[in-house]
Structure formats: C-alpha cells, structure tokens
Structure 1
C-alpha cells in the first residue's frame, strides 16, 4: 500500500514518465534526491513495474478497436486462455471476468476486416466455445492511473 506522498509521486510519473525528479519534487514538496530514493524504493518493491510511452493507436495504423467476450469450454484455466491469447499482437489487454463470459479481450486492428480475421482466429482457438464482440465507436474516458480506490 502506498502512502500519500508515494501515491502523488506515482501519479506525477503516470502523467509523464519523463518528468524530472526536481519537477516531481516541486509538486510533492521533496528534494530531487529524495524523490529518486522513493522511486527507487517503489521500483524495488514492485509498486512501479516500469516506465513506458503511451501512443495513440491510430498513429500506428490501428483504426479499429473492439472487445471480445470469450466463452470457454469446460475446465479451461486462466493460464490456457493467457497462452492462447499472447500470440496475438492485436490483443492489448485480456482479463478473466465474472458473469457469463470467461474472459474479455481488448483488440486493436487496422480496419474492420482485420478485426474480423482476428475474431475468427480467436474463435477458432481450441479452448473457445463461442465469442461475442462489440466495436468501439468513440472512446470516452481512458485513464492510465486513476488514483487510490478510497
């Protein structure tokens, strides 16, 4: 569990991972070396797992986004689903879920036909009984760090 100061540092990095320790220090009231020590500790404990860049999918040619609900055959483990989906570079997120479906998969594709081919390939996986998909018309809210749950 992060304390308030660590959480503020994480939020600053989530907004811009290239932000300097001095800049973050000004935001949270610490010196740059103190921020660096806290970031190093957060990395060492696994609270921060890495730094990345966020790219608009359309800039990379991914114009179509959709979600696929996967309904699996009996006794399919999450590990089997994960192994089956890892091969698809179009899959950007996949999670097991409650409800009727066993998993929900977020997919980016270059166009509708590409999405259809990915959907057909996923539906053909041996562990998949059936799928149900929806296409995204307009993304309304995308958060990369939403703060603490309290």
Structure 2
C-alpha cells in the first residue's frame, strides 16, 4: 500500500459514498486510477466493505459501554468464543496490561445492560471485569 492508497482510504473513511470523480480530483489522479485502486484494495481484502455509521443518539441500542475483562490462565480463546455469542457484545478487542479483552457493549436500557453483565460474568474463565458506560460522544 502506498501513499495514494492511504489517502484514498482516508477519503473513503470520511465519505464512503464519494463519487469516483470527486475522489480523483481530491487525490489529483485520473478516475481510472481511483477505480483500479479501489478494485485492487477490495480484491486483496484491504477494503472489506462499506457501511453506514449512525449518530449514537439515533441508534436503537443507544446505551453503550466498554467492558474490560481479565481472563484466567490460557482461557482467552474460550472466553472470546463465548463473548462472540453474547448479543450485547458489539465488538471484541485484545489488549495488553492488566486486562486481556475489551468488549464494546450495547443495550437499550440499564436493565438490558444489567442482564448482559450478569450473563457475561458467568462465563467460565472470566476472573474480573470492569465496565464503564459511555455518556457522551464527541467524535464518531
């Protein structure tokens, strides 16, 4: 991946619906160059899709949180498999330091969060969790 590819990806992150013509103009290249690069980036798996991002206040599951998870011994893979099956888990990340996993959670109410937290804490291999509700979003 070169600088033009990185600049193209940055533009697409800002507006994935931008026209090829506007992308070409912003990059200072021909439209065919943009089309070829987008096709190559998709073919090699660099770009895996395009999506819609909603403002947090219009999402159905408006309540969001980050849960940090400490895992016993070498049970990280088993815990990740279990968390993938939890409906409240929107994304999972490995991390370093005190915690092993960071889970992004979504729920439609505090009661929904409470139920999800109770289910997650019962997963074998989880030794400790800490959850922080996200109160405001300043950039998305």
**Do both share a fold (TM > 0.5)?**
yes
Distance 1:56 1:139 in 2: 9
Q: Distance in 1 between matches of 2:79 and 2:31?
A: 43
Q: Structure 1 CA distance, aligned partners of 2:54 and 2:138? A: 17
Shift of 1:60: 2.9
Deviation of 1:46 (Å): 2.0
- Contact 2:95/2:101, CA 8 A, preserved across alignment: yes
Other-structure match for 2:63: 64
Once the two structures are TM-superposed, the CA of residue 126 in structure 1 deviates from its matched residue by 1.3
Corresponding residue pairs, total: 140
Give 1:90's aligned residue: 88
Give the distance between the partners of 2:61 and 2:28, measured in 1 at CA.
40
**Contact 2:70/2:99 (CA < 8 Å) preserved in 1?**
yes
Whether 2:44 is the aligned partner of 1:48: answer no
Is 2:132 the partner of 1:134? yes
Mapping for residues 1-150 of structure 1, pairs under 5 Å: 2-77=1-76, 79-142=77-140
8 A contact 2:62–2:108 mirrored in 1: yes
Task: Classify the secondary structure of the residue corresponding to 2:105.
Answer: strand
Note if contact 1:68-1:119 (Cα within 8 Å) is conserved in structure 2.
no
What TM-score do you get using the length of structure 2 for normalisation? Answer: 0.90
Contact 2:79/2:124 (CA < 8 Å) preserved in 1? no
| Consecutive unaligned residues in structure 2, runs of 5 or more | none
- TM-score normalized by the length of structure 1: 0.85
* RMSD across aligned positions (CA): 1.5
The one-character-per-residue Cα deviations of 1:7-30 (angstroms, maximum 9, x if unpaired) are 111111111111111111111112
Note if contact 2:63-2:106 (Cα within 8 Å) is conserved in structure 1. Answer: yes
